[in-house]
Amino acid sequence: MIIVMKYGASQEQIDHVVERVKEHGFTPHLSEGEQRAIIGVVGSDPDRLYNQLMGHVETLGGVEQVVPITKKYKLSSREFQAANTVVDVDGVKIGGEELVVMAGPCSVESEEMLISTAKAVKAAGAKILRGGAFKPRTSPYQFRGLGKEGLEMLARARAETGLKVITEVMTPGDVDLVAQYSDILQIGARNMQNYLLLEEVGKAGKPCLLKRGLSATIEEWLLSAEYILATGNRQVMLCERGIRTFETYTRNTMDISAIPVIKKLSHLPIIADPSHGTGKWYLVPPLALASVAAGADGLIIEVHPDPDKALSDGPQSLNWENFARLMPQVSWIAAAVGRSVDDVHDQFERYMERAPIASLTR
Amino acid sequence: MIIVMKYGASQEQIDHVVERVKEHGFTPHLSEGEQRAIIGVVGSDPDRLYNQLMGHVETLGGVEQVVPITKKYKLSSREFQAANTVVDVDGVKIGGEELVVMAGPCSVESEEMLISTAKAVKAAGAKILRGGAFKPRTSPYQFRGLGKEGLEMLARARAETGLKVITEVMTPGDVDLVAQYSDILQIGARNMQNYLLLEEVGKAGKPCLLKRGLSATIEEWLLSAEYILATGNRQVMLCERGIRTFETYTRNTMDISAIPVIKKLSHLPIIADPSHGTGKWYLVPPLALASVAAGADGLIIEVHPDPDKALSDGPQSLNWENFARLMPQVSWIAAAVGRSVDDVHDQFERYMERAPIASLTR
Amino acid sequence: MIIVMKYGASQEQIDHVVERVKEHGFTPHLSEGEQRAIIGVVGSDPDRLYNQLMGHVETLGGVEQVVPITKKYKLSSREFQAANTVVDVDGVKIGGEELVVMAGPCSVESEEMLISTAKAVKAAGAKILRGGAFKPRTSPYQFRGLGKEGLEMLARARAETGLKVITEVMTPGDVDLVAQYSDILQIGARNMQNYLLLEEVGKAGKPCLLKRGLSATIEEWLLSAEYILATGNRQVMLCERGIRTFETYTRNTMDISAIPVIKKLSHLPIIADPSHGTGKWYLVPPLALASVAAGADGLIIEVHPDPDKALSDGPQSLNWENFARLMPQVSWIAAAVGRSVDDVHDQFERYMERAPIASLTR
Amino acid sequence: MIIVMKYGASQEQIDHVVERVKEHGFTPHLSEGEQRAIIGVVGSDPDRLYNQLMGHVETLGGVEQVVPITKKYKLSSREFQAANTVVDVDGVKIGGEELVVMAGPCSVESEEMLISTAKAVKAAGAKILRGGAFKPRTSPYQFRGLGKEGLEMLARARAETGLKVITEVMTPGDVDLVAQYSDILQIGARNMQNYLLLEEVGKAGKPCLLKRGLSATIEEWLLSAEYILATGNRQVMLCERGIRTFETYTRNTMDISAIPVIKKLSHLPIIADPSHGTGKWYLVPPLALASVAAGADGLIIEVHPDPDKALSDGPQSLNWENFARLMPQVSWIAAAVGRSVDDVHDQFERYMERAPIASLTR
């Protein structure tokens, strides 16, 4: 932490700041230039440094600004762990060389639609089945999911297809229940700063996926991951799903640059969600490909047998065919950035016959 | 709802849309212009209209756009209730002619600091004591409040001063506990879309204050209020506390225009929080005054006996003296917009001796 | 400027940075902590410091971050000039004790409408007449103003009423022409970073008003003012007119906090434009009052004899009556913050008979 | 245009609106439902419709909202021209099957650095040389380019290498000069709504590249293109270079989704600028690849022989080697989306030996 004093701060003010730093148990390093004084403060307890000392100092007389020079997150940083975290979902490795695709309907609507979709996405190369049983909805009058019944359907789909399962948990009281059925616990964007939920999910000890909040900075997102990591659970994945900006043509603005930024700042895997990131099905393929090109460790994509009849998120869901057409391109681009997609063997042949993006219909 | 077909949509496409509308049990009104067809859909069940039909129709072939013409929120709208809701907090009325000020420390740190501050803000004209017992913090390493012990201190401060109490509840499991001690249940900005919490708070049947999420549109905010109102609890207040924008000089950008917009769209009281809205104590007085001038029903302000030593939010807290100097100006401006502040009797005299804003020190 | 080296930066990297600083003619102050080294750099030429050295250094090996500690703007800062700048528009003083109101139509549409409106706003207490002769329009197909003819009408309205005149200039080639007719040269939000225009306006030597760009930070805004001030022209006013955020209910989000922030950082007068700031006429009165309460030096408001028939910005224009009703409230609130509005003599009587804001119609 | 009347609008109000529509020469189609009336208005002159009628109507009594159903831009829309525009820059075709790369220094600093860089980027596969002679700078104290001398250097670099040249023009008065030297006229982000500049550039009749403004919606961007197209010049390219959001880690947030959105809405070529889009050199390769994967027609990338010594934009410039390593990956990914990059013949071999992105150094 660096404390920059104002031009013309008095000796008394400087001494006062130095004194306060010492009172808090830190060692100040004062360097007085011709124009202004600067006080460096280091210490082995960055948490106290930023949570207590910084707030106090920045409002003292004569202080111009206080500059943090240590990151506020620790366990999620590359400095803490240089090697990539590879999350192991019962044998499916995320964060390693393989690029993993998660796909399925927004909401679990019925067992039949879920299992048929699971088979379709598995055939195309997906490894993990997504599907919402508990749905957060902006309006209280919208469909909120099948709840426990939906979880049971997910488990049956897993049994039948061998896909792993990811589903959202919305409140601390549901963590145990959801953890009984799901291989990955998903924390939604609206809950990124629901700290008690983060801790409960951490304690469940299962792999989890933390979506970025609609208006969360990258630093805030990593600090939320820190809540989970601090429970001792290190199986954390991050998920970029679009941020809120002034542009209204897309549902959100997908921050593709967050993908390489996370890879630089953190060792945690980063998954891209082009369905929520764009809100429009015809933008899902180009943004899925862009995410892979930018270095994502995986994709999570909404797929529905008949998107026009979906109970939620129909406008942003791919149908089976468009998802199947997308996968060989994903695989091709993954190869360009040194990744592979397992089980997309016949990529080239299928790639050659793909329709150009512009002519997709649904 | 209006369905606008594309230029050159085929008769078959138009018929298909009309058919689908009927299947859902609504009556379509087709008007075919020279250039394009428009299909109006009305119905007495707007919830189904927007939650099911709209999503389906907007992805059908030949559809250019679907325009909602009914608001998605209902119970919170002026159309549903023309007269202002006046929330009655055990005798203190919010939303009526009187402008009500809530003040106190960000966090409850000790009984002594809480009770002395309670007395100071009461003397200056505040009617409600704020103070956090459970604190949501961006980093897991920050002070998170005294919990139940803090609630007990708030209750003692109420007993000693007669002020009513407002404090935050963060998770559904804590609602009963907090409701035992607090007169108003506060839902924080990070929890605006924590729907299970909204419903639990609603069921508690007490007055509550719903802060606007950092990136919530006004419509989303009213839809969150709808979750509470739908439980039958009508004692809901809204609180503008700044939104996230690109500007970084202030902690948030306080959306003062939201105040008259809420008064226009809704019957619920609107409270302004210039402390979180700006993040800097010297901006709190001008923004508090601006909020009153714009029509706010109340203010909630952080006040601390020694802000430099606060365990949280020190940089945005007023000290006792600056709060006391602010209140007569609040009262004066309230009068200019047809409101009054009870118990600020000697406003003019105190106003005359006030220091100009620019020369405030803390 | 402070150069913060990474944990574990090598001695060679530190030496290299120190060397480069010296090569640029600055004196480095190295302090090596146990954990990392910090290099302070001061110098009497902050411009070279930030424009050359900083860019170079921040990409050198071993550098974690470079922290500027001198503001990039100079002439517009409070540090450069502690006393408020008072702009003198041919006898009308802006930035002093008096709060000055500018009002008139968005576009000059005809001489008759301009002069009648000028008389109406003067009668209500305005001192300066606004009216666009050259209009920037988002679409090339919109009405773009009467040009020189419009300027002549403004001059005649001034002759007839004694009001001063403000109008926009859009391009360097028009500065001389507009300066012949207008008392204040307005630079619109879209042109805030049109640097050649800023310099031409500066050289014209007349008072000017610089609107904040739609997505300009406060620092960028002051840096644009710096372009004008650097020409030697010190008659610069700033104008807050709303920024672009995710909220779409209002045309822009008026950043009321920018008003006290500018008063703190700069000596330049700050004017508020609630018409563009909100985009809706019924929000203009509450936001005008909020701006005054927050410390604005003046207001600029769109007024039209028949807003429904305006060629531009009808939805955000007040009619004569609503403007006249607003002025006594402006005056009342100005008094609460130590300002006065000249010529609104009968404020109290008129204030008493005003309709409450909520019942305004147009 | 659809006029939606309020619940309970009176017959008189409805008649008044219908009357006003007729007065403006349009034909209203009234449909009165049980709950509210809706008035459709079509006409062959959409410009008048939206620029005059819409503004008037939306403030009439009884009107709830007015919904535009025709796009405000015309010449730039896919509806106006279904086939892609292919801009021909003296033989280099942009917008067709080939993906075109523009590269070079931010500013022209000297002839030697320009020509050596031109040779380096040509060798790697670039077709067009970028370099600023006139530089818009946020602060008046920064390096603003070599002006005419810089243009002459660009012309010599073209003569020596055969590359085409792109450079920015900042003000209408410079258009003729810049057009003498440059093959493409670039309009910078800050000037996207400098309408007089747009028209002058249009009249110059040369290919031009229009950068998206920092806070411009996609619709506003296309409306700015409309200003150029309306002069008769159809050689217009668009350039996504990042928008302003709340995230500060990156200089801007690159809106990758804008690429497929533009391809859908418009026939104009879309170029991606990952240098300005991110502001950090190590993010340029992943975002360049993402842009190609999303369907960009070209890239514009800042390359400098020694970025640490650049007079502007050093932090976001690639050095020669990193640019050369990037190009085979660009080519590989272009192939995945049906595009090719000319002259990157040996892509596979070079690709195989490329360093992984994470290990790039500069």
- For residue range A245-272, what is the model confidence (pLDDT) as tens digits? 999 999 999 999 999 999 999 999 999 9
Contact A332 D336 (CB under 8 A): yes
Contact with chain A for residue B249, Cβ under 8 A: no
Instruction: Say which of D59, D194, D220 has its CB closest to residue C307.
Output: D59
Determine the Cα–Cα distance for residues A346 and A332; give it in Å rounded to an integer.
11
Over residues D243-257, the mean pLDDT reads 96
Contact D166/D300 with Cβ under 8 angstroms?
Answer: yes
Kindly determine whether residue C337 and residue B351, on different chains, have CB atoms separated by under 8 Å. Answer: no
- What are the residues whose beta carbons fall under 8 Å from the beta carbon of C110, sequence distance 6 or more? C153
Chain A residues inside the 8 Å CB shell of C42: 33-36
Q: Which of D29, D34, D244 is nearest residue B33 as measured by Cβ atoms?
A: D29
Q: Which chain C residue lies closest to A64 (C-alpha atoms)?
A: C69
Q: What is the widest separation between alpha-carbon atoms in chain B?
A: 77
Contact C121, C322 (CB under 8 A): no
Locate C259 and state its tokens: 């008003």
Residue from the list D36, D67, D246 with its beta carbon closest to the beta carbon of B245: D246
Decide if pLDDT at A289 tops 50: yes
Adjacency order of strands within the sheet including B63-67: B27-32, B37-42, B2-5, B63-67
A:88-147 residues touching chain C, CB 8 A cutoff: none
**What is d(CA C161, CA C123) in angstroms, rounded to the nearest whole number?**
10
Please name the member of D258, D287, D351 whose beta carbon is closest to the beta carbon of A294. D287
**In the predicted model, what is the mean pLDDT of residues B320-326?**
95
Cα(C258)–Cα(C222) distance, integer angstroms: 12
Domains of chain D, residue spans: 2-67, 87-359
Cα(B201)–Cα(B14) distance, rounded to whole angstroms? 46
Give the residue from D21, D24, D45, D59 with the most C CB atoms within 10 Å of its CB, the best one to mutate. Answer: D59
> Rounded to 5 degrees, what are φ and ψ at D187?
-110, 120
DSSP H/E element including B275: helix B274-278
Q: Answer whether D42 sits within 8 Å of B34, measured CB to CB.
A: yes
pLDDT by residue (tens digit) across A192-244?
Answer: 999 999 999 999 999 999 999 999 999 999 999 999 999 999 999 999 999 99
Is residue D275 within 8 angstroms of chain C, CB to CB? no
Euclidean distance between CA atoms B310 and B317, whole angstroms: 9
B136-153: per-residue pLDDT in tens? 888 887 778 899 999 999
Nearest Cβ partner of A38 from C40, C65, C79?
Answer: C40
Q: Give burial (CB, 10 Å; 0-12/13-18/19+) of C343.
A: middle
Question: What pLDDT is attached to residue A8?
Answer: 80
Closest among B323, B289, B330 to B304, alpha carbons compared = B323
Searching chain A, which residue's CA lies closest to the CA of residue D339? A356
Q: Does B180 contact A at CB distance below 8 Å? A: no
What burial class does residue D349 get, using C-beta atoms within 10 Å of its C-beta: 0-12 exposed, 13-18 middle, 19+ buried? exposed
Are the Cβ atoms of B36 and D42 closer than 8 angstroms? Answer: yes
C60 touches chain D (CB under 8 A): yes
Strands D87-89 and B128-130 come out as: unpaired
In whole angstroms, give the CA distance from residue B355 to residue A26.
Answer: 37
The answer to whether C36 faces chain A, any CB pair under 8 Å, is yes
DSSP letters, B150-163, are HHHHHHHHHHHH--
Å from B249 to nearest chain D CA? 12
With contact defined as beta carbons under 8 Å apart, do C2 and C26 qualify? no
Query: CB distance D282–A292 less than 8 Å?
Result: no
Superfamily of the domain at D2-67: Phospho-2-dehydro-3-deoxyheptonate aldolase; domain 1 (3.30.70.1140)
Neighbours of B, requiring at least 3 CB pairs below 8 Å, are A, C, D
CATH T-level topology, domain B87-359: TIM Barrel (3.20.20)
Neighbour-count burial of B44, counting CB atoms closer than 10 A to its CB (0-12 exposed, 13-18 middle, 19+ buried) = exposed
Chain D environment of A287 (Cβ under 8 Å) = 256-257, 260, 294
SS3 B114: helix
The phi and psi torsions of B115 (rounded to 5 degrees) equal -70, -40
The 3-class secondary structure across chain D, one letter per residue, is: CEEEECCCCCHHHHHHHHHHHHHCCCEEEEEECCCCEEEEEECCCHHHHHHHHHHHHCCCCCEEEEECCCCCCCCCECCCCCCCCCEEECCEEECCCECEEEEECCECCCHHHHHHHHHHHHHHCCCEEECECCCCCCCCCCCCCCCHHHHHHHHHHHHHHCCEEEEECCCHHHHHHHHHHCCEEEECHHHCCCHHHHHHHHHHCCCEEEECCCCCCHHHHHHHHHHHHCCCCCCEEEEECCECCCCCCCCCECECCHHHHHHHHECCCEEECHHHHHCCHHHHHHHHHHHHHCCCCEEEEEECCCHHHCCCCHHHCECHHHHHHHHHHHHHHHHHCCCECCCCCCHHHHHHCCCCHHHCCC
**For C274, which residue in chain B has the nearest alpha carbon?**
B257
Of B243, B249, B277, the CB nearest to C261: B249
Size of interface A-B (CB pairs under 8 A): 122
- Spatial separation of the C-alpha atoms in residues C132 and B47, rounded to whole Å: 46
The residue among C286, C263, C273 whose CA lies nearest residue B292 is C286
Chain C environment of A38 (Cβ under 8 Å):
2, 40, 69
For residues D121 and D320, give the distance between their C-alpha atoms in angstroms, rounded to a whole number: 7
C2: β partners:
C40, C67
- What angle (nearest 5°) sits at the alpha carbon of residue D347, between those of residues D341 and D352? 145
Q: What whole-number distance in Å separates Cα of residue C226 and Cα of residue C267?
A: 12
A77 touches chain D (CB under 8 A): no
Q: Tell me the pTM.
A: 0.91
CA–CA min distance D79, chain B (Å)? 9
CA nearest to C226, candidates C80, C75, C71: C75
Q: Does C248 touch chain A (CB under 8 A)?
A: yes
C112 Ramachandran zone, left/alpha/beta (phi>0; psi -120 to 50): alpha
Q: Does C79 touch chain A (CB under 8 A)?
A: yes
Nearest of D21, C283, C83, D172 to residue B259 by alpha carbon: C283
Q: Range with the lowest mean pLDDT among A283-297, B38-52, B213-227, D270-284?
A: B38-52
Amino acid B12 reads E
C226 touches chain A (CB under 8 A): no
Rounded Cα–Cα distance for residues C326 and C101 (Å): 11
pLDDT of residue A1: 79
Q: A187-198: per-residue pLDDT in tens?
A: 999 999 999 999
How large a percentage of chain B has pLDDT more than 70?
A: 90
Q: Per residue of chain C (362 residues), what is the pLDDT tens digit? A: 788 888 788 999 999 999 988 888 888 888 776 667 888 886 656 666 666 677 778 778 888 888 777 677 889 998 889 999 999 999 999 999 999 999 999 999 999 999 999 999 999 999 999 999 998 888 887 778 899 999 999 999 999 999 999 999 999 999 999 999 999 999 999 999 999 999 999 999 999 999 999 999 999 999 999 999 999 999 999 999 999 999 999 999 999 999 999 999 999 999 999 999 999 999 999 999 999 999 999 999 999 998 877 777 888 999 999 999 999 999 999 999 999 887 674 544 444 444 343 345 56
Instruction: Give C-chain residues touching B290 at CB under 8 angstroms.
Output: 256, 290-291, 293-294
* C249–chain D nearest CA distance, Å: 12
Task: Kindly tell me the burial class for residue C44, based on how many C-beta atoms sit within 10 Å of its own C-beta (0-12, 13-18, 19 or more).
Answer: exposed
Q: Which residues contact C12 (CB under 8 A, 6 or more apart)?
A: none
Closest by CA to A256, choosing from D254, C251, B96, is: D254
Cα D31 from Cα D221, distance rounded (Å): 35
Which residues of chain A neighbour C244 with C-beta distances below 8 Å?
Answer: 246
Checking if the pLDDT of D340 tops 60, the result is yes
pLDDT surpasses 90 at A44: no
- Tokens 């309907």 — which residue? A105
pLDDT digits (tens, 9 = 90+) for A91-133: 999 999 999 999 999 999 999 999 999 999 999 999 999 999 9
What is the pLDDT confidence band of residue A362, given thresholds at 50, 70 and 90?
Answer: low
More confident of the two residues A72 and B171: B171
Say how far apart CA A356 and CA A292 lie, in whole Å: 18
| Distant-in-sequence, close-in-space partners of B151: CB < 8 Å, separation ≥ 6 | B133, B167, B177, B178, B180, B181, B182
Q: In CATH terms, are D2-67 and D87-359 the same topology?
A: no
Evaluated on CA atoms B157, B163, B164, B165, the torsion sign reads: negative
A167, containing H or E segment: strand A164-168
| Tokens 């890879």, residue located | A263
Distance CA(A301)–CA(A292), nearest Å, equals 13
Prediction ipTM score: 0.89
Would you list the DSSP string of C20-54?
A: HHHHTT-EEEEEE-SS-EEEEEE-S-HHHIIIIIH
- Note whether B67 and B95 are within 8 A (CB): no
Task: Report DSSP state, residue A355.
Answer: P
Are the Cβ atoms of A138 and B58 closer than 8 angstroms?
no
As a residue count, chain C comes to 362
- Give the CA distances from residue B87 to residues B192, B267, B335, D183, in Å, rounded to whole numbers and listed in that order: 20, 11, 21, 68
Nearest neighbour of B246 by CB, restricted to D34, D40, D244? D244
How far is Cα of residue A39 from the mean position of the Cα atoms in its chain? Answer: 37
pLDDT of residue C348: 41
User: Between chains, do A55 and B314 touch, taking CB under 8 Å as contact?
Assistant: yes
C33 touches chain A (CB under 8 A): yes
- D189, D211 in Cβ contact below 8 A? yes
Specify the length of chain B in residues: 362
- Strand order, beta sheet including C37-42: C27-32, C37-42, C2-5, C63-67
Classified as helix, coil or strand, B92 is: strand
